[in-house]
Amino acid sequence: MTQKLDIIFSALADPTRRAILAMLLEDDMAVTDVAEPFEVSLAAISKHLGVLTTAGLISQEKRGRVKWCKLEPDAMREASVWMQAFGQMDAIDLDAFEAFLATQLK
């Protein structure tokens, strides 16, 4: 499980790949449509798509001459379960903490 999480988190570490995933939330997209909003080459986008595919976050399918990308939301389930374990801690109220520190330093 650790190796799979490493691959998923590594894929999610790049802002371009996160943007691609956000685009695919809407619908399946052709690779050329995925590449359109980015100021990088189609080859660079293809590499990003390869990383996302290896991580299991998307799938790619050729339909005729066009390669389509599809989000695979279940692939993030392990990562989500892992992250939820940290959600059981209370959030730190930074304003209250700052106020506390101010009273202690007087």
pLDDT tens column, 3-41 = 989 999 999 999 999 999 999 998 999 999 999 999 999
Looking at residue 1, its amino acid is M
Residue 100 sits in a domain of what CATH number?
1.10.10.10
Query: 95 lies in which domain range?
Result: 2-104
Buried residues in 19-58 as b, exposed as e (16+ CB within 10 A): ebbebbeeeebebeebbeeeeeeeeebeebbebbeebbbb
Phi and psi angles of residue 90, each rounded to the nearest 5 degrees, phi first: -70, 140
CA distance 81 to 61: 28
Q: Give residue 88's Cα distance to chain centre.
A: 22
Quote the pLDDT of residue 89: 56
Q: Per the structure, how many domains does the chain have?
A: 1
pLDDT tens-digit series, residues 51-105: 999 999 999 999 999 999 999 988 888 888 888 877 765 666 777 777 777 776 6
Q: Taking the model in full, what pTM does it have?
A: 0.78
